[in-house]
Amino acid sequence: MKEVVHARGHEHVTAQHASTLELTSDDYLTPAGDCIIGIEADRTPADFDQEFVAACRDADATITATFEAGDHTQTVRGRGHPELEFTNDRSLVCRTSEYVDDRTVMVDADAAAADLDRNLVAALADGADLQATFRVE
């Protein structure tokens, strides 16, 4: 199963956060948003199919997020959690920790914003279109 989110980069994308990676539906980004890699996301966790959400609530589920911008692609792998809500209608977050809130779409991620390829980050800082494909197995 998969869910696809389209967003775009922004001049303030720095991807410096060490434990999270975020996409937001907001149309702006301040320099403080060092975990945000895309704005104007066309979908949020509240929009995801309930079958996808149910699969992500399995503690043994493997969740992957593939981020594509221009010629740059990076995949982040994490896992599901029984307490994932998928109710936020503003932003989604991949976390390296096991913390769960209404924005969390994966826990125990193997990368955060700071771990992303710097060429991908540079493309996003130049305003590149971003496609994020989330898969659950």
The full set of domain ranges for the chain reads 2-136
Hey, which residues does 135 pair with through a beta bridge?
A: 2, 64
Please give the pLDDT value at position 79: 98
pLDDT in tens, the chain (137 residues): 999 999 999 999 999 999 999 999 999 999 999 999 999 999 999 999 999 999 999 999 999 999 999 999 999 999 999 999 999 999 999 999 999 999 999 999 999 999 999 999 999 999 999 999 999 99
pLDDT in tens, 50-88: 999 999 999 999 999 999 999 999 999 999 999 999 999
Question: 26, 91 in Cβ contact below 8 A?
Answer: yes
Q: Which residues contact 100 (CB under 8 A, 6 or more apart)?
A: 81, 83, 84, 85, 107
| pTM > 0.85: yes or no | yes
CATH of 2-136, one of 3.20.20.300, 2.60.120.630, 3.30.750.24, 3.90.1570.30: 2.60.120.630
DSSP H stretches of helix in the chain:
50-56, 118-125
Please give the pLDDT value at position 90: 98
Please give the pLDDT value at position 32: 95
Question: 92, 5 in Cβ contact below 8 A?
Answer: yes
- The 10 Å Cβ neighbour count of residue 73 is 13
